[in-house]
Amino acid sequence: MVVQAFVTLALMLSFSSQIIIALELIRWPLEFVLLYEWLLSGIAFICNALAGNFMEIGAFGLKKWIISCSS
């Protein structure tokens, strides 16, 4: 159950990051993107970093720990 929660959080963060990067690429809300481009890039970077950590912990770390504790 915890593994599924971490993987779900990773998916949500990754998808949010992709939306932010796509909006930056097409510069859809033009004034907002031009004004806060560095902030949006930083948010996308943090989302990707957290998604990677959640995926690493959820998919590999906790699963190994759960398997080792059950045997």
pLDDT value for 20 = 97
Please say if the pLDDT value at position 71 is more than 70.
no
Under the banding of pLDDT at 50, 70 and 90, the label for residue 3 is confident
Is residue 57 a contact partner of residue 16, using CB atoms and an 8 Å limit?
A: no
Domain definitions of the chain by residue range: 2-70
pLDDT digits (tens, 9 = 90+) for 25-68: 999 999 999 999 999 999 999 999 999 998 888 777 766 666 77
Of residues 1, 3, 12, 6, the one with CA closest to residue 54: 6
